[in-house]
Amino acid sequence: MAASISSSSNECEGSMTAMKYFASAVPLSLRVVAECPVSKARACILTLPHSPVNTPVFMPVGTQGTMKGITANQLEDLGCQICLGNTYHLGMRPGPELIEKANGLHGFMSWKRNLLTDSGGFQMVSLVELSEVTEEGVMFRSPYDGKEILLTPEQSISIQNSLGSDIMMQLDDVVSSTVKGPRVEEAMHRSVRWLDRCIAANKNPERQNLFAIIQGGLDARLRKACLDEMTKRDVPGFAIGGLSGGEEKDDFWKMVTLSTDHLPRNKPRYLMGVGYALDLVVCVALGCDMFDCVFPTRTARFGSALVPWGSLQLKQKQYAKDFHPIDPECQCPTCKRHSRAYLHALFKSDTAAMHHVTIHNINYQLRLMRDVRQSIIDQKFPEFVKVFMERMFPSPEDYPSWAVDALHSVNICLK
Ligand SMILES: [Zn+2]
């Protein structure tokens, strides 16, 4: 533990004091600030080693230590309190040793606020064709040099310990949400066993929080069994995993609400891979606190700007002479300065266009969650949901039935 903070400079004293403070404190606490009297929505303050985080929160995803199209400084200016780093990419290149030398991922990317790192497992299953899961770990072929690599729960935690993230994710046995049969049950039980190996492997439990990931596919019995087992472990937080993988939305929300029904009230609930505005609002109503998704930044690179009434495809001809900002109500640096027409023209010639829209889209997500949170605190969340739906869809006939049903299940009736 001392190795990463013993390296020279005056700043070291400051971080040493901070480290002592955190060593004697629990590295995470959750205070429920307000609860919706109608639905399961709640507003909390999640205190993490680098700063407090207001929840519900959307966490933008960074890759290789930098957000695509946005700097750490800009992310800070938008009010982002926590973002994600990809363990898989960082573990391969530049490698955990180099990042440890830079005082962890915070030092490496010069980010003063909180970081969450994933286990690296999901990327392997989704990005790497050749991967094989055994009890020992996930075997895969490196896309960089073709070598066979075995990622074990111990190695995943070791890499995340080197990265120094505030929240680390357990290595889990991931199966696609569309897979059915005995493989789902096997993966669920293995994920519980791997959680125990991850807990044992964590070298920094006093300053790095390990989250469990609830699995069990779309089978309520398996989800419940996983919830029962994992909540017996005293981990700082829980993620709901294995969803958002192309399953029916009706199955999706039922698994989410089953999970939040059985997760402890005093710990954060992180729904992985969810980032569409509608899904965020519905899943807050179902009791989730934290979300991440590559969607807002990925879609920005294709010229799609998120707005309260859906999205603008800025490459389309209709914006060539449109001198309005993307969203007249948005206070982001892009909307304050540039018109749709300018961005439309820029997309033809310059990657700066992607950068401008990325900033807008991240700001949209963060603002949406701030507004959601404020409505919960003001005890007006159901009204907020109704106005949100009216703005997002031309008429109530266009409301997706899964969203209507999900909200109805927590007493928010749209029709
Ligand atoms: Zn904007």
Tens of pLDDT, residues 47-68: 999 999 999 999 998 654 455 6
- Short-list 305, 311, 406, CA closest to 355: 305
Give residue 334 CA to ligand 1 midpoint distance, Å. 5
CA distance 361 to 359: 6
Choose the catalytic residue: 77, 118, 196, 279: 118
Give residue 372 CA to ligand 1 midpoint distance, Å. 18
CA distance 297 to 88: 19
Please determine, for residue 4, whether its predicted confidence score (pLDDT) is greater than 60: no
Choose the catalytic residue: 251, 292, 350, 378: 292
Q: Are 259 and 288 in contact (CB under 8 A)?
A: no
Q: Are 70 and 366 in contact (CB under 8 A)?
A: no
Percentage above 90 pLDDT, the chain: 72
Whether 350 is catalytic = no
Q: 151-188: per-residue pLDDT in tens?
A: 999 999 999 999 999 999 999 998 888 888 899 999 99
Q: Which one of 3.40.50.360, 3.20.20.105, 1.10.3720.10, 3.30.70.360 gives the CATH number of domain 33-294?
A: 3.20.20.105
Residues less than 5 Å from ion ligand 1, measured at CB:
330, 332, 334-335, 360
Give residue 406 CA to ligand 1 midpoint distance, Å. 30
CA distance 399 to 414: 9
CA distance 114 to 59: 10
Whether 228 is catalytic = no
CA distance 310 to 64: 30
Structure tokens at 256: 């989410």
Please determine, for residue 396, whether its predicted confidence score (pLDDT) is greater than 90: yes
Mean of the pLDDT values across residues 350-357?
91
How high is the pLDDT of residue 6?
30
Mean of the pLDDT values across residues 35-53?
97
Cβ density class 268-290: b for 16+ within 10 Å, e for less: bbbbbbbbbbbbbbbbbbbbbbb
How high is the pLDDT of residue 186?
96
Q: What is the pTM of this model?
A: 0.91
Give residue 191 CA to ligand 1 midpoint distance, Å. 40
Q: Is 215 a known ligand-binding residue?
A: yes
How high is the pLDDT of residue 22?
44
Name the residue type at position 185.
E
Q: Is 83 a known ligand-binding residue?
A: no
Q: 102-150: per-residue pLDDT in tens?
A: 889 898 888 899 999 999 876 665 665 667 889 999 888 777 777 888 8
Rounded to 10 deg, the angle between the 381-392 and 352-377 helix axes is 140
- Short-list 362, 234, 222, CA closest to 301: 362
- Short-list 141, 40, 156, CA closest to 90: 156
Q: Are 41 and 284 in contact (CB under 8 A)?
A: yes
